């Protein structure tokens, strides 16, 4: 299996960054396996979905971040589940947690966002977990694109659990405006759900135009990532991407 490029800052100020998107199901499964998977992927940024949101949620998320060699960047309960973790290589400019409009009787959804720098590269970051309802999900896809446009950055990464396959209208809406990492530079595995018998891709990492996608997919066979840990960690498989972000 071809290895993804390691994180680094280039002489021209551009940066190679590893991004991991992962639905962690409120850490209700094997948290040791979860931390091992995240740590082995050596991400600079983790786009989390279904982070703990209730009793002692921040302590639980902080424990996972520390076990993975990371820190909490934003999100969790204030974003209704999405969260961002980052490594110490990132310089944080700002963060913002966004709650999306609530449909009565449905689960509250939100976005965890931040602007960070790696060397001379400046990057917007967004984690999402879209609705199970097709109409609400499509509207949330539009809000996601609007939020990226309002962040005031040239380059951005968005990712998460879309609850929809690539042929769905919301997935296509995002892929029309952004680069779908797997479709642009497939690496590793494609399907993200379920870990025991993966048969569909409902989780993704997207990048704005101008970012070079160096590889994106489920890290099957990645050094330190065991199939046993992938099955035990949570009910989704993670998506790992390596991207090159131009300097500003």
Tell me the average pLDDT across 174-178. Answer: 98
CA–CA distances in Å: residue 173 to residues 108, 144, 165, 167, 185? 22, 10, 12, 10, 19
| Spans of all domains in the chain | 11-245
Residue in 104, 58, 59, 101 with CA at minimum distance from that of residue 77: 58
Q: Give the global pTM.
A: 0.98
* Residue 130 clears pLDDT 80, i.e. is over it: yes
Q: How confident is the model at residue 48 (pLDDT cuts 50, 70, 90)?
A: very high
Distance CA 180, CA 169 (A): 14
Q: Which H or E run contains 59?
A: helix 57-67
SS3 for 64? helix
Share of the chain above pLDDT 90, in %: 97
Confidence (pLDDT) at 2: 84
Q: How confident is the model at residue 216 (pLDDT cuts 50, 70, 90)?
A: very high
77-93 pLDDT, tens per residue? 999 999 999 999 999 99
* Residue 1 clears pLDDT 90, i.e. is over it: no
Tell me the average pLDDT across 135-139. Answer: 97
At which residue do the structure tokens 């199901």 appear?
25
Contact 111, 97 (CB under 8 A): yes
Chain centre to alpha carbon of residue 44: 11
Q: How confident is the model at residue 118 (pLDDT cuts 50, 70, 90)?
A: very high
Confidence (pLDDT) at 163: 98
* Residue 184 clears pLDDT 90, i.e. is over it: yes
Quick one: 11-245 is in which CATH superfamily?
Endonuclease/exonuclease/phosphatase (3.60.10.10)
Tell me the average pLDDT across 156-162. Answer: 98
Contact 238, 227 (CB under 8 A): no
Length of the chain counted residue by residue: 248
Tell me the average pLDDT across 219-230. Answer: 98
Residue in 236, 248, 167, 163 with CA at minimum distance from that of residue 208: 248
Torsion, CA 36, CA 38, CA 43, CA 48, rounded to 10: -160
Confidence (pLDDT) at 231: 98
Looking at every residue in the chain, the average pLDDT score rounds to 97
Residue in 106, 103, 105, 100 with CA at minimum distance from that of residue 142: 100
């Amino acid at each position: 299996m071809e290895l993804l490029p390691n994180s680094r800052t280039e002489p021209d100020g551009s940066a190679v960054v590893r991004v991991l998107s992962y639905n962690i199901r409120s850490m209700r499964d094997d948290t040791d396996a979860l931390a091992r998977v995240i740590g082995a992927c050596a991400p600079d940024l983790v786009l989390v979905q279904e982070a703990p949101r209730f009793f002692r949620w921040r302590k639980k998320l902080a424990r996972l971040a520390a076990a993975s060699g990371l820190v909490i960047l934003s999100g969790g309960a204030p974003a209704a589940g999405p969260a961002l973790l980052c490594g110490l290589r990132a310089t944080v400019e700002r963060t913002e947690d966004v709650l999306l409009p609530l449909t009565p009787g449905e689960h509250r959804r939100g976005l965890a966002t931040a602007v960070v720098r790696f060397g001379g590269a400046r990057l917007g970051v967004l984690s999402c977990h879209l609705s199970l309802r097709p109409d609400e999900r499509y509207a949330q896809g539009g809000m996601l694109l609007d939020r990226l446009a309002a962040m005031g950055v040239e380059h951005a990464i968005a990712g998460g659990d879309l609850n929809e396959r690539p042929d769905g209208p919301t997935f296509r809406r995002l892929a029309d405006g952004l680069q779908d990492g797997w479709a642009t530079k497939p690496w590793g595995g494609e399907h993200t759900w379920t870990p025991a018998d993966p048969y569909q891709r409902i989780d993704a990492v997207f990048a704005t135009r101008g970012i070079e996608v160096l590889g994106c997919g489920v890290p099957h066979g990645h050094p330190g990532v065991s199939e046993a840990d992938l099955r035990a960690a949570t009910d989704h498989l993670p998506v790992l991407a390596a991207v090159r972000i131009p300097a500003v």
